Amino acid sequence: MASLMCHWHLDRETGLSCSRCGKSVCVECTRPHPVGIRCKECARELRIPTYQISTSYYAKGIGAALVLGFGGLLGLGLLLAVLPGVGFLFFILMGGLGWVIGEGVGRAVNQHRGRPYQYMALGGVLLATAPIALASVFVISAAAAFNLIGVGVAAMVAWDRRKV
């Protein structure tokens, strides 16, 4: 059998070749692929598959974010009116709010994940926490910082629930 030389390293012998274009490749130039090995050029062409989001999923996701955001706004307002000094329990409450909104958007869109759904869940959280955030933005105090951190916790949890 005649020895082949790597297409990019002409001083290296190899018995390997790209499963797509057939170029001979050394071990350093191989790239793993589901159907064998590929050369550097063919592996670069492999792109992450994109998907189209239908209008109905946009409508369902935005609707769920709005309903859960308004529900969270009412529930959070009522709970904080009844229990004004919840302390560090506030962070758990805000994390739970983020989880409920993120998961609710997910269930509305058949558990699809992706950036558009993350923005929908984030919008729901911002709607639910708007009074807290707006009341705390322009005040310099420990309580205001505490409130903004809680809003951030809710936003992070909701964002993470729809992450790919």
86 and 10 within one domain = no
Residues 34 and 105 in one domain: no
Q: Which of the two residues, 94 and 85, has the higher pLDDT score?
A: 94
Same domain, 93 and 141: yes
Domain that holds residue 19: 4-45
pLDDT of residue 46: 54
Q: Within a domain: residue 50? A: no
Look at residue 96 in the predicted model and tell me its pLDDT.
93
| 117, containing H or E segment | helix 115-128
Rounded to whole angstroms, the Cα distance separating 40 from 8 reads 9
pLDDT for residue 97: 94
Under the banding of pLDDT at 50, 70 and 90, the label for residue 71 is very high
Residues 72 and 34: their CA atoms lie apart, in Å, by: 45
- Please provide the size of the chain in residues: 164
Phi, psi of 58 (to 5 degrees): -60, -45
Q: How many domains is the chain partitioned into structurally? A: 2
Is the same domain home to 19 and 94?
no
pLDDT at 50: 58
**DSSP string across 85-148:** --TTHHHHHHHHHHHHHHHHHHHHTTT--SHHHHHHHHHHHHHHTHHHHHHHHT--SHHHHHHH
Express each pLDDT in 98-122 by its tens digit: 999 999 999 999 888 888 999 999 9
Q: If you average pLDDT over every residue of the chain, what do you get? A: 88
pLDDT in tens, 44-67: 765 555 567 888 989 999 999 999
- Average pLDDT (83-106) is 90
User: What is the per-residue pLDDT for 159?
Assistant: 93
pLDDT tens per residue across span 116-145: 999 999 999 999 999 888 888 888 888 888
